[in-house]
Structure 1
Amino acid sequence: MTVKKEFKSMRNKFGDVILEISKEDPRVYGLDGDLANSTKLNILADKNPDKFLQMGIAEQNMMGVGAGLAAVGLQPWAVTFAAFITKRSLDQIQVSIAQTNLDVKMVGAYAGLLNGRAGKTHQALEDLAIMRSLSKMVVLAPADAHEVEQVMRFANEYQGPVYIRLARDNVETVFSDSCEYRFELGKAVVLKEGVDVTIISTGTQTARALDAAKLLNEEGVNAAVVHMPSIKPLDNEAIIEAAKNTGAIVTTEEHTIYGGLGSAVAEVLVENEPVPMLRVGVRDKNTQSGSNEELLDHYEISSKHVADKVLQVIQMKNY
């Protein structure tokens, strides 16, 4: 029997939860980079306008304002496209927020390749690499709408800077709303046990990792799938255990292969438990605009490409 997949919107969930948090916590304010209709911060603007601050197309100023608000005990949530928040305002994030360890929450919308034809200038494939390089920065990439709420609730309670990566389009559900899963900082989630290889994924790529594991099962390969919502801090113990249990690792992310999840996992393995490892991600290429399926295939991060990479790493393991 074929089970129908469920898809839900990360950004709609974000809008609903930021509204709830703003009503529950008097410290919370939403800072908009003139993209509220796209990021769904407009839900806050419409239903709790006193907590909505329009910063305009001025990301550097937005981060400075956020730092100022946090310095007087408030909790600003700065929200714009990931491509803008992590590159246009990096200096302000580093100097005014990360170095001072201020309680600013940064939400990078439209992250990754799939941005609804907004175009290659709006794609964000370097954000995880940039943000994990900053001291004091927590970096999170939820897999679906349910986990978006989980990481937002965590961020609201956490004292310090947090970056949350969100996708534009509806994403496949990994955690149902009725499940007992609770996000924990620095903890991986084993979604599928396996003995031949471990696929370590993050963010929207986790659903594709699970699909790849199903394809591999048809080939007689029993792949474990480990979801890594917390890029920094990273669950080193889960990575080492996976390497010991299966002897081969494939990482997969909707991000460049440089500096993101793949690099982070490789750092852990080379220092603790070296095993054959391959990375699925966007290679050293300038990206193009296109439909979702075209982009996933062209940049070789579809479920099929994940499965192909697993078969390659198993050959390395058995060589």
Structure 2
Amino acid sequence: MTTSTKKRLTTSAMIASFADEGQRTTSAPFGHALAGLAEQRPEIVGLSADLAKYTDMHVFREAYPDRFYQMGMAEQAMLGTAAGMAEVGLLPFASTYSVFATRRAYDFLCLDIAEPGLNVNVVGGLPGLTTGYGPSHQATEDLAILRGMPGLTIVDPCDSVDIEQAVPELADTSGPTYLRLLRGSVPTVLDEYDYRFRLGEAAELRGGRDVLMISTGLMTMRALQAAQELASDNVDVAVLHVPTIKPLDREAILREVAGDRLVMTLENHAVVGGLAESVASCLAFAGAGKRIVPIGLPDEFLAAGALPTLHDRYGLSASAIAARTREELA
């Protein structure tokens, strides 16, 4: 049964959203994008490690029950199974929480999937600080863990638009991919810009003479909000969205950092091993000495609590970003 013949499914009410009150959102964009693509791609299969409802894979499960595989709480087995499926011509999307895909099942992702270059798409929910559950579920170091894996494509989408457009491109990528999933009621932001997701390419969403914010994931939304707030202070902020962490669009970064603007990086990840260090190494290897102000999560296990409180505490909210920018410009 296809998605066109069913009522559009929503996400679980138990999933907290990082969306602001009154903000436009789209429910379960990944699940609907995958189910829609599967209508044209019969080789697509979905797997879950007992978390379909909480990674929006339940939408695909309801549309294509005979192509969905519930693997239970066995992430290593799930990735090993996905590798076998890819070997025989199927196109797996395997979903679980990021902490389990990276910390628990790293060896299977590396040797069963990446080393032979199989087209397995790993979908990791709760990346960075998108849950208040605490260190057991906060994947604050998943990019640092995975960036060194040869041949792995890593995508950190900003919003529902990014996710919907990224899914078919990930399916068309010949090797393994890792998607930092924004689940549930996901903000819809990028449709207000002349934007199209293109794998491996960064996109300038707005220009600005004073500050350049290089951002990825949900922090691009925060960067755009901070830029609007700073405009009231006559601070002109450019935002360069980097949805693909690997391969990194080095040409765009080197082009944008030229000049004397304040350069900041924004990521929903620890400052160790993520976007900030990727940008810093890009500049260093090119001989382009430039000071970078990193905005990200600290190198520590984070507290549990409500998401708005945690985002304020750790400097990820738009107001905190604007305040930090003013301090740097003072």
Confirm or deny a common fold (TM above 0.5).
Answer: yes
Letter in 1 for 2:295: V
Q: Specify the alignment match of 1:110 in structure 2.
A: 126
Q: 1:132 to 1:85 in 2, by over 3 A?
A: same
**% identical aligned pairs:** 37
Higher helix share: 1
**Alpha-carbon distance in structure 2 between the residues aligned to 1:139 and 1:97:** 14
Q: Specify the alignment match of 1:173 in structure 2.
A: 188
> Aligned runs of 1:173-192 on 2, under 5 Å?
173-176=188-191, 181-192=195-206
Q: Specify the alignment match of 2:252 in structure 1.
A: 238
Residue pair 1:22, 1:51 contacting (<8 A) in 2 also: no
Aligned-pair CA distance for 1:311: 3.2
Report the secondary structure of 2:136's partner residue.
helix
Letter in 2 for 1:110: L
2:299 is matched with which residue: 264, 276, 284? Answer: 284
Spell out, residue by residue over 1:189-246, the C-alpha distance to the aligned partner (whole angstroms, 9 max, x if none).
1111011120011011111001111222222211111110011111111111121144
> Aligned runs of 1:46-85 on 2, under 5 Å?
46-85=62-101
Q: Specify the alignment match of 2:52 in structure 1.
A: 36
> Aligned runs of 1:72-221 on 2, under 5 Å?
72-115=88-131, 117-168=132-183, 170-176=185-191, 181-221=195-235
Q: Specify the alignment match of 1:251 in structure 2.
A: 265
1:24 aligns with 2:35: no
The gaps in structure 1 that reach 5 residues or longer are none
Q: Specify the alignment match of 2:311 in structure 1.
A: 296
Letter in 1 for 2:147: R
Aligned-pair CA distance for 1:184: 1.3
Q: Specify the alignment match of 2:25 in structure 1.
A: 8
Q: Specify the alignment match of 1:270 in structure 2.
A: 284
Q: Specify the alignment match of 1:311 in structure 2.
A: 326
Residue pair 1:198, 1:226 contacting (<8 A) in 2 also: yes
Spell out, residue by residue over 1:28-81, the C-alpha distance to the aligned partner (whole angstroms, 9 max, x if none).
100111011111211122221011011110001111001111111111111011
Letter in 2 for 1:76: P
Select between 180-189 and 126-135 the one with higher mean Cα deviation.
180-189
**Alpha-carbon distance in structure 2 between the residues aligned to 1:297 and 1:6:** 18
Give the TM-score normalised by structure 2: 0.89
Spell out, residue by residue over 1:65-123, the C-alpha distance to the aligned partner (whole angstroms, 9 max, x if none).
011111111111110111111111001111111111111000011212122x4443111
Give the TM-score normalised by structure 1: 0.92
**Alpha-carbon distance in structure 2 between the residues aligned to 1:185 and 1:166:** 16
Report the secondary structure of 1:69's partner residue.
helix
Q: Specify the alignment match of 2:243 in structure 1.
A: 229
The count of corresponding residues between Structure 1 and Structure 2 is: 309
Report the secondary structure of 2:104's partner residue.
coil
**Alpha-carbon distance in structure 2 between the residues aligned to 1:71 and 1:169:** 31
Residue pair 2:195, 2:203 contacting (<8 A) in 1 also: no
Aligned-pair CA distance for 1:181: 3.0
Letter in 1 for 2:136: T
**Alpha-carbon distance in structure 1 between the residues aligned to 2:230 and 2:60:** 43
Letter in 2 for 1:41: M
**Alpha-carbon distance in structure 2 between the residues aligned to 1:211 and 1:171:** 16
Report the secondary structure of 1:24's partner residue.
coil
Q: 1:226 to 1:5 in 2, by over 3 A?
A: farther
CA RMSD of aligned residues (A): 1.8
Residue pair 2:295, 2:315 contacting (<8 A) in 1 also: yes
Aligned-pair CA distance for 1:289: 1.1
Report the secondary structure of 2:296's partner residue.
strand
